C-alpha cells in the first residue's frame, strides 16, 4: 500500500446513490430546527443521505469546531464556541421526533475545556436514559488526553457502548493524528472494560491511508489485547483537497478478508466494508452482536 495519492476517480464499488427524498430532507429539517450538529454533515459522510432517509443521525455535541487538526477530518478547526446548555434536551427531543432506538453521541475534541467536554456527554446520556430508558446509547468520544477522571464522568453516566476510534495504524499516527497517541487511545478502551465491564467497547479503523496488511493485523491484535468488543473497518475517502490524500482504494474482497480475520482474533462483532463508518447502521451492529453472544 503506497503513501502516494491515487487517482481521484472512484472505483465502481465506491459510487453511492444519493438518497435525497422527503424523509431525508425532513430529518435534516428536524435537526436544524433544534439547532443540532451532526458528524454526518460536519465530516461530509458519504452515508449521510442514506442515514437521513432512515431517520437516523449521529449527534455531535460541544459545537462544530475542533481544537485538533487531524489530517483526515473535514470538521472545522480553530477556536470553539461556548457549550450550549440546551444541547442535551434538544437531542432528547430529536430522539423522540425521529423515533430512534439506538442513539450515537459524538463530539469535536475540546482540549480547551477543563474536563474535555465529559460533563456534557454525561448530561446528554443522563437525560436520554431518564426520558427513554429502553434506548441504547452509544458514545463516541475523543481521548480526553487520557485523563481517567474525565473518562469516568462519561462512563458513569451509563452508556451501553463506549466507542473510541484508533482510526489508523501506529506507524501513521504522526501524519494522520499528530495530536493523538496510539497507545493512549488503546488504553482508554482497556480502562473502560477493566472498570466498567458491563459497557461494550468499540473502535474503528480506516484503510487506504498507506498502511499494509501486517500493520493492520497488528492493530487488530492491539485492540483485542486492550479489550475491544466491537470493530468497524471502512475505506478512507479524503473529504477535501486540504486533507490527506487516499493512498489506496481497497477492494471489497479485502474488507471481507479483514472481517474474517477480525472475528478469528476474537471480536464479538465486526462490520467491514468500503462505506462502513463508526456509527453506520450502529443499531444493526449492536443487535447482531447481541445475537452472536446469545448463541
Q: What is the set of domains in the chain, with CATH numbers?
A: 17-294 (3.20.20.70)
194 phi-psi bin (left φ>0, alpha ψ -120 to 50, beta other):
alpha
State pLDDT tens for residues 113-140: 999 999 999 999 999 999 999 999 999 9
Query: Which segment, 15-24, 41-50, 144-153, is predicted with the most confidence on average?
Result: 144-153
Average pLDDT in the chain: 91
In contact, 14 and 260? CB cutoff 8 Å: no
d(CA 202, CA 124): 19
The neighbour count for residue 178, using CB atoms within 10 Å, is: 11
What predicted TM-score, i.e. pTM, was given to this entire model?
Answer: 0.93
Q: Is the pLDDT of residue 188 over 90?
A: yes
In contact, 189 and 164? CB cutoff 8 Å: yes
d(CA 143, CA 87): 21
State pLDDT tens for residues 208-249: 999 999 999 999 999 999 999 999 999 999 988 888 999 999
In contact, 68 and 173? CB cutoff 8 Å: no
Helix locations, the chain, DSSP H: 22-33, 39-42, 48-53, 87-98, 118-131, 148-155, 173-176, 182-195, 213-225, 252-265, 282-294
DSSP class of residue 26 equals H
d(CA 191, CA 183): 12
Amino acid at each position: 500500500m503506497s503513501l502516494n495519492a491515487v487517482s481521484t476517480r472512484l472505483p465502481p464499488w465506491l459510487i453511492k446513490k444519493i438518497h435525497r427524498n422527503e424523509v431525508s430532507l425532513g430529518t435534516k429539517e428536524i435537526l436544524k430546527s433544534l439547532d443540532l450538529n451532526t458528524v454526518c454533515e460536519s465530516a461530509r459522510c458519504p452515508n449521510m443521505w442514506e442515514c437521513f432517509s432512515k431517520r437516523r443521525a449521529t449527534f455531535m455535541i460541544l459545537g462544530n469546531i475542533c481544537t485538533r487538526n487531524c489530517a483526515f477530518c473535514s470538521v472545522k478547526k480553530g477556536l470553539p464556541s461556548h457549550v450550549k446548555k440546551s444541547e442535551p434536551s434538544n437531542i432528547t427531543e430529536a430522539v423522540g421526533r425521529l423515533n430512534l432506538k439506538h442513539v450515537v453521541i459524538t463530539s469535536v475534541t475540546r482540549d480547551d475545556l477543563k474536563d474535555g467536554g465529559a460533563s456534557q456527554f454525561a448530561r446528554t446520556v443522563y437525560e436520554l436514559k431518564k426520558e427513554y430508558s429502553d434506548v441504547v446509547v452509544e458514545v463516541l468520544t475523543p481521548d480526553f488526553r487520557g485523563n481517567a477522571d474525565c473518562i469516568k464522568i462519561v462512563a458513569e453516566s451509563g452508556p451501553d457502548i463506549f466507542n473510541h476510534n484508533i482510526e489508523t495504524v501506529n506507524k501513521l499516527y504522526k501524519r494522520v493524528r499528530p495530536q493523538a497517541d496510539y497507545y493512549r487511545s488503546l488504553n482508554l478502551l482497556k480502562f473502560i472494560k477493566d472498570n466498567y465491564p458491563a459497557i461494550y467497547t468499540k473502535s474503528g479503523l480506516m484503510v487506504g491511508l498507506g498502511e499494509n496488511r501486517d500493520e493492520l493485523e497488528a492493530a487488530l491484535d492491539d485492540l483485542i489485547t486492550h479489550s475491544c468488543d466491537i470493530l468497524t473497518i471502512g475505506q478512507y475517502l479524503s473529504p477535501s483537497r486540504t486533507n490527506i490524500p487516499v493512498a489506496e482504494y481497497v477492494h471489497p474482497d479485502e474488507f471481507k478478508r479483514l472481517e474474517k480475520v477480525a472475528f478469528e482474533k476474537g471480536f464479538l462483532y465486526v462490520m467491514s466494508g468500503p462505506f462502513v463508518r463508526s456509527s453506520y447502521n450502529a443499531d444493526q451492529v449492536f443487535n447482531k452482536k447481541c445475537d452472536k453472544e446469545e448463541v
